[in-house]
Structure 1
Amino acid sequence: MKNSILVISDQQEQNYTAILQAAELASAYDCNLHIVSFCHENLRGINDIEQAKRKVIHNLHELNAHKLVNTLQGKVDYNFETVWEKDIHTWVSHYVHEHKPYMVVKTGHRSEALFYTPTDWHLLRECNVPMLIAADHKWQKARNVLATIDLETEIGDKKQLNGKVLRNASIIAKHINAELHIAYAVPFSPLLRKLGIIDKDKLEDEHKTDLKEQLSLLAQSYGIQPDHIHIKAGQVDKVLTSIAADCNASIVVVGTIGRAGLDQKLIGNTAESILALLKTDVLAIKP
């Protein structure tokens, strides 16, 4: 039996961004799609609430089922359900625990000033399978895949997570015929540079020299061109966003640790910053 990808369908979305992206991923990973559309309305004052619920669910299900046939056009095997639920992230968490899909895909909604919705954040932090937030607006000409890893970690779990990030990024890059890039952000204080205590360029060169053997092994293992491995010093969120733009990334694959959010270098305000700035799909991988 094939694995499945759980897709959270957005009622407000016109172009089915998440569903089309999930169809690409289903082909890459040889999975089926399980598409769920959520609805919830205030039915206060209605005599037969259960009948009203059934009617709303039925009408939305029929409408969306017709749209899905026209959208997917036989691209992938899928099933579809409409669920009456206000607390989406809790429903998804229960579904993931019970059915163990390979991945969850959802469209992310945010602007430069407004970060992801609470539902997106809950899913990123709590979902125990890979989570893809599909961008509703992308950089123009974006096509390549960027894997962000910690090249200097000595922690076993993080080393394994690096491998999972690279494997998933490689699978996607091969499937969409894109170039694979790797990024490592060297933590660096702008204040120390301003005071003349640290030379940014020298720091980057030192890391490239120290990691030369490891970089060569990565290039051989994943068929990555040497100039597609990027090591830059600076604020992590700004560095990774800059690299993603420079290499025309359409998807950024990141490692996440635990329930507190993204890896220690991408936590709290930093996590919000990079996810708000990136105009790409973001695939969050857990150990």
Structure 2
Amino acid sequence: MSIYNNVLVVLDPSADEQKALDRAIELARKQGCQLTAFLSVYEFSYEMTTMLSGDERESMKQSVIKDRELWVKTFLEQPSALGLNIKMHVVWHNRPFEAVVKTVLDNNYDLVIKGTHDHDVLKSMIFTPTDWHILRKCPCPVLLVKDHAWPAKGNIIAAVNAGSEQEHHLSLNQRVIHKAQQMSQLLDARVHLVNAYPGTPVNIAIEIPEFNPQEYNDTLRRHHKDAILSLAEKHQISNEQCHVLEGMPEDVIPKLAKKLDAEMVIIGTIGRTGLSAAIIGNTAEHVIDRLDCDVLAMKPADFICPLEKS
């Protein structure tokens, strides 16, 4: 049974190698699915060509689209020779992330695969505004591809918020673990659960002399450990594969991923946008930016895409 059936693969117009497409082909070989190679193009200069008529500008736009379609086809020749039928979809849009999300909504894709950029100077993975917008607004899971391979007998990390009693966190935990188990079967990997918990606030220990920071920390750790072990038991995951670590998720999860040499981290994201995103931030984004392996970002079951509402 396929985990994903209809997959949108976002190509990078600035790259000679398309790692998102390579990963998508690997996925299709493992479980069978329909792939669509997607590219959003836009040339601002054509919109500013006031001397041309509307029909002439449209003709020039179609010419650019045809040219990019030929470019996309060069990446599809080899998989086609191997028997993979990959569709192609090139659109004209001045906001790439909106083009991706609209295409997902219009065609009911159940997974988006996109590569991230390698910063030549820092030699680290960075995200563009398009990446952030897709991560926050795409209604289906998003697989952000890096350079780590998918070896057999590897490790998949499911990042959970086990200590929370909020309904959206409880629901998202279940979705993240379920997806991790599906992917572990597909990749022949082991599932690890990780839960980060905050350390003792320094200001409390200073302001309240009778406050016992060690006792507080031990109590908090036990609460999170009991919660994650309860989650693990429900999903038949051994205690040895549960990790309760003190610190912020953006510090804890990348360290564990490096220690386990994980090939994938699965994380929930509530898709916070607007002012709340600017003030509170999105934990998933801070985590992803520091990982060297693929990241599968999951939305809550009741997530409503901002573009769909408008």
The TM-score normalised by the length of structure 2 is 0.76
- Contact 1:192-1:198 within 8 A present in 2 as well: no
Q: Which residue of 1 aligns with 2:16?
A: 14
**Matched residue of 2:263: which SS?**
strand
Q: Which residue of 2 aligns with 1:96?
A: 104
Q: Which residue of 1 aligns with 2:242?
A: 229
Deviations along 1:12-65, whole A, 9 cap, x unmatched? 222221112223444566531122122222335585333332222222212321
Q: 1:198 aligns with which of 210, 213, 230?
A: 213
**Matched residue of 1:12: which SS?**
coil
Moved more, 252-261 or 234-243: 252-261
Q: Which residue of 2 aligns with 1:276?
A: 289
Whole-angstrom distance in 2 between the partners of 1:24 and 1:159? 32
Q: Which residue of 1 aligns with 2:264?
A: 251
Q: What displacement does 1:153 show?
A: 1.7
**Matched residue of 2:213: which SS?**
coil
Give yes or no for the alignment of 1:169 onto 2:154.
Answer: no
Q: 2:113 aligns with which of 75, 87, 105?
A: 105
Q: What displacement does 1:73 show?
A: 4.6
- Contact 2:197-2:224 within 8 A present in 1 as well: no
Q: What displacement does 1:80 show?
A: 0.8
- Contact 2:199-2:246 within 8 A present in 1 as well: yes
**Matched residue of 1:101: which SS?**
coil
Q: Which residue of 1 aligns with 2:299?
A: 286
Deviations along 1:60-111, whole A, 9 cap, x unmatched? 2123213212146546443112222221111222222222211111112264
- The alignment-based identity, stated in percent, is 28
Q: What displacement does 1:165 show?
A: 0.5
Q: 1:144 to 1:75 in 2, by over 3 A?
A: farther
Moved more, 186-195 or 226-235: 186-195
**Matched residue of 2:266: which SS?**
strand
**Matched residue of 2:267: which SS?**
strand
Bigger radius of gyration: 2
Q: Which residue of 2 aligns with 1:119?
A: 130
**Matched residue of 2:289: which SS?**
helix
Give yes or no for the alignment of 1:56 onto 2:64.
Answer: yes
Deviations along 1:191-219, whole A, 9 cap, x unmatched? 4699796349x83x655644566545544
Q: 1:4 to 1:141 in 2, by over 3 A?
A: closer
Q: 1:174 to 1:3 in 2, by over 3 A?
A: closer
The TM-score normalised by the length of structure 1 is 0.82
Q: Which residue of 2 aligns with 1:238?
A: 251
Moved more, 157-166 or 221-230: 221-230
- Contact 1:180-1:224 within 8 A present in 2 as well: yes
Which 5+ residue runs of structure 2 have no aligned equivalent? 301-310
Aligned length: 281
